[in-house]
Each structure stands twice: as structure tokens, then as C-alpha cells.
Chain A
Amino acid sequence: MSKIERQGLTRRALLARVVSTGALAVTGVGFIAAPDAAWALEVTTITEHQMATLLQMARDIYPHDKVGDQFYAVAVKGYDAEDKKALVEEGVAALDAAAQAAGHADYVSMGWEEDRVKILQAMEDAPFFQTVRGGLVTGLYNQKEVWPIFGYEGESFSKGGYIERGFNDINWL
């Protein structure tokens, strides 16, 4: 339910949608949000379009169908910063240009992951791609909240280890 709608992620479209559902108060800063308003991400330095593109790009680099957008949003929210602005502007422009060359309006409005991935592959060695991908390795997978989705149990000392909690409980061998 928390999937961002790909089209119309402009400030106006979002405002309109949120206002119509009345779920989120908006105070004049930019943001992107889940259509069901389950979460929202404020942007102050880069544009909503740029943030939405980053979010889509993050999903395309490390697609996990069971991991909600909010976790990807947390992983890329650091790009909404003065010292990242130029990198993001240039990178998103490059993605959009490639999308347009392939006959689409922009990167986020490309319907198939496969098509977007082709664009990413072509820019795989560029600093923008490498920075975003590298940042995601910890930005996404080091969020304690995503671990349970993968079954990973994290810290175990406080629970007394696994000596009585299934360190050898495999039953299918």
C-alpha cells in the first residue's frame, strides 16, 4: 500500500492528492509521499522530481519486492543536501535524458524495470551511479527495520544467544 505512484509526482500533483484525502498537512515545503500517505519525505534542497527519481533508482539498483518504499526513502534522503545538490541534478538529468532518448517522458515514468535497468547499466561506471549504489549498501541494508523482512535476527546477546533458541534446529536435512 505504500507504493509511490510513478506519474505525477510533482509538488502540485502531490499536494492535490494529499489535500483531497486530507491526510497530510503541508506547510509550504516540498515533499514526496506515499499515495496512501503512509509516509512522506520532505525535500528542501533538491526537487521532488529529483527525489522521486533517486527513490526509483534505488529500487532499481537493489529491488526487493517485499521491502517497502519507505526504507528506500530513508536510504536516499541524505541526498537532499547542499553538498549533494550538483551531483543529484546532473545525475537525474542524465537519467531523464537517456529515458527521453528511448522515447519516454523521463526516468520515473518508464513503466518496466527492465527498461530502466538498461539505462542504469549504461551509466554504471559514472560517479553518480557508483555513489548512489555504494551508499545504498549501508543505507538500505543496515537499517535494523529491514532485517526482519529478510529473516535476519540481529543482536542476540541480550537474549542469551541461540544456545536455547535454535542454533541447531534445522529439521529438513
Chain B
Amino acid sequence: MVAKFELTDDSVVVVIGTGAGGGVLSNELAQKGVKVVALEAGGRYLPEDYINDEWESFGQLAWTDPRTTSGDWRVAKDFSGLPAWIVKAVGGTTTHWAGASIRFQEHEWKALTSYGPVDGANLLDWPIDAAEMAPWYEKAEAKLGVTRTGDRAGLPGNNNFKVFEKGARALGYKEVHTGRMAINSADYDDRMACQQTGFCFQGCKWGAKWSAAYTDIPRGEATGNLEVRDHAHVARILHDDSGKVTGVEYFDKDGNLQMQKARIVCVAGNSFESPRLLLNSASSMFPNGLANSSDQVGRNYMRHTTGSVYAVFDKPVRMWRGTTMAGIVQDEARHDPSRGFVGGYELETLSLGLPFMAAFLNPGGWGRSFTTALDSYETMAGMWIVGEDMPQATNRVTLSDVKDQWGLPVANVNFSDHPNDIAMRNHAYKQGQAIYEAVGATRTFPTPPYPSTHNLGTNRMSEKPEDGVVNKWGQTHDIANLFVSDGSQFTTGAAENPTLTIVALAIRQADHIASEMAAGSI
């Protein structure tokens, strides 16, 4: 049943990348009868292949092709070649992701209007709003099987959650629960319930967590309308003299350059690779890269204001047991400038295994202050901060002088915190530490951000062509048959983990593309 399309077939939609955006889009189009060729740089791995071992799993799934960094963020110093922790595999980063799935709040769709202009920030309203997105969110929640939405029950709380919940309640927080998670609390949609193995970041071996790798991808293939080519690294998007895109060039499994024709091209390589590809596709007609008349391709890179708080207690917690991120405090997600910053943040439980804890607790740290923390690993609890960061024009992806294995310039990621980001992080550290102190923590650790897991904004959505790269459908302002379908479309980041929104946008975009194709307008 799996389709096979000719390289010369110019009736297909080519989707680049098969993660949250591209994987879902491919399946949704295929379900509607649209022929799709999905090109994925990584290989195919299924639950039986996933490894309950942090570094081994990282070696199996993570994107480790070269990237470079600049700016004053600490990641550029501690992990200069690894600005992001994301996946190169069929299913993209939905293999690694923890499953936290929450909707944007209404005011966050209109950040500029809600917060007013902020010095040094490039805030903008999305050209869509909560009412427009509500039905798409509902579809996305049903697809992902998000707990605490529809009639799906919440997950049970693990040890890490219990400590977090008790502390949060002691501080008076009200919106505290085990999260809205794309992890089954009961069997759902042919996937089993969570077995509390605690390796959500390494790919769920039970399939209890939603991932495009074993849901949307095989279901799309089963329609006979979707062909997924793995180990297919897209190098360039091609266009004709009229400025319409005509196909893509990619390196196949054997390293040979192939050309796939296309009626429509959708870019979904995550927020470093998508702008990189548009920039690497520059031509005499588009010397600054495709879809870049606004000069916004690559700009406004956002990664959420993050950080973690770990704490040690005088008794065991064993935080690694059970779901990695099933716990949330939402009280600080509101917009309340009296705290000294605009926008808000979520606090979510988080646990790392010992090997990752050693690498990320205090990168570069050593000596007794560091090792006594790890000595208390068994009595440790942990949480993650995820808050809205400010888009800035100078936080951007550009082409580096370094080249990858294909001879293509890699992405350089320049990032510096905005003062609003710093104020928010410091507030969150304080609250996080207070939560743990309220339940008797003997020591707390305000831990710096990891390489980015949330990467957003580098092809942002805008009402006006001069403010951004794509319109409200993710269609590029400049080229009618070129779309962006991943997190790089985000106009602003909101306080919430992004994937539910990426998926909702992809479902909506598939609907739009299919009807425009049927109408013959693209």
C-alpha cells in the first residue's frame, strides 16, 4: 500500500521534515487524498528501537550535524556546537518530547496589543486568535489524546509531582495538577496507557506517549497517498522564472543528489533548519534567500525563557521514576506586569537521569559544591521553567562559514536574553526555590537553560508581508506555493510548550492546502 512517486511527478506536495509539523501535515493531507512525498533527513526508529539510556538514545536520535552559536546566552559557551537538543529521525522531535500539551491563552495571540511595545523587542500580534484556533486545538487534542481534555482523565502523580504539588499548594498556588499530557492515562487510539517507565525523553517504548513516528506517519502511509523517504536531506528549494517553487534537491541515503518535482513545497525542518534551507536556496532572482523580501527569514528566534530548579531533601524522592513531565503549576502563566516583566511562565515537573544531570545541572561546574549535589541525586526533585521570551530581530539564524557533510553552510544561532527574559527567569527561580523550601528542601539549585528544546519564530507569521515571512495559513507572503509548517511560523512564543499549537496549525494548514488545491488556486 505504501505509495511510491516518481521524481518527475510534479503533482505531489513535498513536505520537508516529518516532526510535529511535517509529520502531522503529511498524514492530514494524505487522509484527504492529496499525494505527498515527505523527505526526512534522519532514519526510522520505532518503540522497539528506542533505548532506555540517556546518552545512547541521544546518539541514536539527536541532530548532531554541525551548528554554530554566538551571542551572550550561556549555551553558546557550554554547548557551542549544540544550540538545540532536537531530533533527526522520522517523527522528528516528537520522539524526544515530553508530551506537555497546553493551549495558548487568549491574550497571548495578541502579544503586542496585550503587552504594548517593549523596548528592544520585536513584538507583533498573530494574524489569528483563540476563537479561530479553538476547533483546531480540539482536533489536535483528540489526535494526541491529551489528558484532561475531552473526557480523558489525568495521569497519576509520581514522586516528583507529589513533592512539587505539596510545595506549590503551601505557597497558595491553585492551578496545580499532573498536566495536560499527550500521554495515555488509559488505553486510547490503539496506544496503551503509560507504564511509568520514566524515559519519556528517550522515545516511549510502550507507545503511550504520542509521537508522529508511530501514529501519523504509518497512518498516512496506509492511505497509499504518502511516501516517506528517510535519510533524505533537502539541500535546496528550486523555483522557475515566474518565482514559483518547482521542486527540491536532496541528498539521498547513498549521498546522491536527487531532484523531486513538486506542485507545492512545505518546509518543516524545525526553527534552525527551515530558515537555513530558505537562505541556502538563494538564487539570482531571490539573492537574500527564498521568501525573504521582508528580511525576516531567520530573525526573531525564540526558545522560551527556561531554566530548571532542582532541590535536595533529607529523604528519598527518586524523581526519575514515572512520567518525566506530568506536573504543572499554571498560576504564574498570567500576564501581570506588577511582577516586573510582561507575559508569564509555567512551572512543570522535570527529571533527568544521573548522566544528564551531571551534564546539565551546572555545565562546567566541578568540585565539592557540584558533586555533593549529585551525591544527593536520590533525594532530589526537579522542575522546569517555560515562559514567554521576547522576539528580537538580532536573535537570529544566519548561514555560518562552517559547512556540513554535504558542503552546505550550517546554521549559526545568535541569541542573547532580553531584560524581560532575565527578569522572568529570576522570578521563576525564586518561586521554584520557594516551592521546594516549603516542603523542607535542604538545598536548591537554580539551574541554567539547556540547549534549546523549543525553537520558534524564525519564519514568523504576520498580517503584513513586511513584518514576517508567512501569512495566517503558513503560506509565504512571497511565493504562493511555498509553505512553512513547523514552529518557525510562531509570531510570538506564549508561555506554553509549543507542540500542541504546531500540531493544531498543521491540521488547519492541511485543510487549507487541500481546499486550495481542489479549487485550483495553488
**Which A residues have a C-beta under 8 Å from some C-beta of B?**
60-64, 66, 117, 133, 137-138, 140-142, 147, 150-158, 160-163, 165-170, 172-173
Q: Which residues of B contact A161 (CB under 8 A)?
A: 194-198, 206
Q: Which residues of B contact A150 (CB under 8 A)?
A: 354, 374-375, 377-378
Q: Are A168 and B371 in contact (CB under 8 A)?
A: no
Contact of A138 among B55, B163, B316, B357 (CB under 8 A): B55
Contact of A162 among B157, B322, B353, B439 (CB under 8 A): B322
How far is B194's CA from A137's CA once the two chains are assembled, in angstroms? 31
- B167 CB to nearest A CB, Å: 9
CB contact under 8 A between A154 and B197, given known A141-B355, A170-B163, A170-B317? no
B: interface residue count bin:
35 or more
CB contact under 8 A between A137 and B198, given known A152-B320, A162-B321? no
Q: Point out which of A117, A137, A161 has the most chain B C-beta atoms below 10 A from its C-beta.
A: A161
Judged by DSSP, the binding face of A is loop
Q: Which residues of A contact B321 (CB under 8 A)?
A: 153, 156, 162, 165-167
Indicate whether B166 reaches chain A with its CB closer than 8 angstroms: yes
Q: Are A157 and B199 in contact (CB under 8 A)?
A: yes
CB contact under 8 A between A166 and B318, given known A141-B354, A173-B163, A173-B166? yes
- A149 CB to nearest B CB, Å: 9
How far is B167's CA from A128's CA once the two chains are assembled, in angstroms? 43
Q: Are A66 and B198 in contact (CB under 8 A)?
A: no
How far is B355's CA from A133's CA once the two chains are assembled, in angstroms? 14
How far is B195's CA from A62's CA once the two chains are assembled, in angstroms? 35
How far is B187's CA from A67's CA once the two chains are assembled, in angstroms? 43
- Which 6 A/B pairs are nearest by Cβ-Cβ distance? A151-B378, A161-B195, A161-B197, A167-B322, A141-B358, A152-B354
Q: Which of B96-104, B139-147, B362-370, B391-399 contacts A (4 or more CB under 8 A)?
A: B362-370
Within 8 A of A (CB), among B324-375: 353-355, 357-359, 364, 366-368, 370-371, 374-375
- B435 CB to nearest A CB, Å: 13
How far is B322's CA from A166's CA once the two chains are assembled, in angstroms? 9
6 interchain pairs, CB-CB under 8 A: A63-B367, A138-B55, A141-B355, A152-B320, A162-B322, A168-B162
Contact of A157 among B162, B205, B316 (CB under 8 A): B205
Indicate whether B4 reaches chain A with its CB closer than 8 angstroms: no
Contact of A62 among B157, B206, B357, B370 (CB under 8 A): B370
- A54 CB to nearest B CB, Å: 15
Indicate whether B156 reaches chain A with its CB closer than 8 angstroms: yes
Q: Are B354 and A170 in contact (CB under 8 A)?
A: no
Indicate whether B158 reaches chain A with its CB closer than 8 angstroms: yes
Q: Are B439 and A173 in contact (CB under 8 A)?
A: yes
How far is B357's CA from A49's CA once the two chains are assembled, in angstroms? 32
Q: Which residues of B contact A156 (CB under 8 A)?
A: 52, 197-199, 321
Q: Are B316 and A151 in contact (CB under 8 A)?
A: yes
How many A-B contacts are there with CB distance less than 8 Å?
A: 111
CB contact under 8 A between A153 and B162, given known A133-B366, A147-B354, A161-B198? no
Q: Are A153 and B320 in contact (CB under 8 A)?
A: yes
Indicate whether B175 reaches chain A with its CB closer than 8 angstroms: no
Contact of B52 among A137, A142, A155, A166 (CB under 8 A): A155
Contact of A168 among B53, B157, B166, B197 (CB under 8 A): B157
Given contact pairs A62-B370, A170-B159, enumerate 5 new A-B contacts (beta carbons under 8 Å): A133-B366, A152-B354, A160-B195, A161-B198, A162-B196
- A127 CB to nearest B CB, Å: 14
Q: Which residues of A contact B370 (CB under 8 A)?
A: 62
How far is B149's CA from A42's CA once the two chains are assembled, in angstroms? 60
Q: Are B199 and A173 in contact (CB under 8 A)?
A: no
Name the residue of chain B whose CB is nearest to the CB of A134: B364
Q: Which residues of A contact B374 (CB under 8 A)?
A: 64, 141, 150
Name the residue of chain B whose CB is nearest to the CB of A166: B321
Q: Which residues of A contact B354 (CB under 8 A)?
A: 141, 147, 150, 152
Q: Point out which of B197, B199, B357, B375 has the most chain A C-beta atoms below 10 A from its C-beta.
A: B197
Within 8 A of A (CB), among B471-503: none
Name the residue of chain B whose CB is nearest to the CB of A133: B366
How far is B374's CA from A140's CA once the two chains are assembled, in angstroms? 12
Q: Are B52 and A167 in contact (CB under 8 A)?
A: no
Q: Which residues of B contact A62 (CB under 8 A)?
A: 366, 370-371
CB contact under 8 A between A137 and B197, given known A63-B367, A66-B375, A152-B377? no
Q: Which residues of B contact A141 (CB under 8 A)?
A: 354-355, 357-359, 374
How far is B55's CA from A41's CA once the two chains are assembled, in angstroms? 26
Name the residue of chain B whose CB is nearest to the CB of A113: B368
- A33 CB to nearest B CB, Å: 25
Indicate whether B403 reaches chain A with its CB closer than 8 angstroms: no
Q: Which residues of B contact A166 (CB under 8 A)?
A: 159, 318, 321
Q: Are B315 and A172 in contact (CB under 8 A)?
A: yes
Q: Are A138 and B156 in contact (CB under 8 A)?
A: no
Q: Which residues of B contact A153 (CB under 8 A)?
A: 318, 320-321
Q: Which residues of A contact B378 (CB under 8 A)?
A: 150-152
How far is B195's CA from A64's CA once the two chains are assembled, in angstroms? 33
- A72 CB to nearest B CB, Å: 12
CB contact under 8 A between A117 and B439, given known A142-B355, A156-B199, A168-B158? no
Q: Are A152 and B359 in contact (CB under 8 A)?
A: no
CB contact under 8 A between A151 and B318, given known A138-B55, A141-B354, A156-B52? yes
How far is B163's CA from A133's CA once the two chains are assembled, in angstroms? 33
Q: Which residues of B contact A168 (CB under 8 A)?
A: 156-159, 162, 322
How far is B159's CA from A160's CA once the two chains are assembled, in angstroms? 18
Q: Which residues of B contact A154 (CB under 8 A)?
A: 52-53, 353
Q: Which residues of B contact A162 (CB under 8 A)?
A: 158, 195-198, 321-322
How far is B53's CA from A158's CA once the two chains are assembled, in angstroms? 12
Interface string of B368-411 (1 = CB under 8 A from A): 10110011011000000000000000000000000000000000
Name the residue of chain B whose CB is nearest to the CB of A160: B195
Q: Point out which of B163, B358, B378 has the most chain A C-beta atoms below 10 A from its C-beta.
A: B358
Name the residue of chain B whose CB is nearest to the CB of A150: B377
Q: Are B158 and A167 in contact (CB under 8 A)?
A: yes
Within 8 A of A (CB), among B118-160: 156-159
Q: Which residues of A contact B377 (CB under 8 A)?
A: 150-152
Q: Point out which of B194, B366, B371, B439 has the most chain A C-beta atoms below 10 A from its C-beta.
A: B366
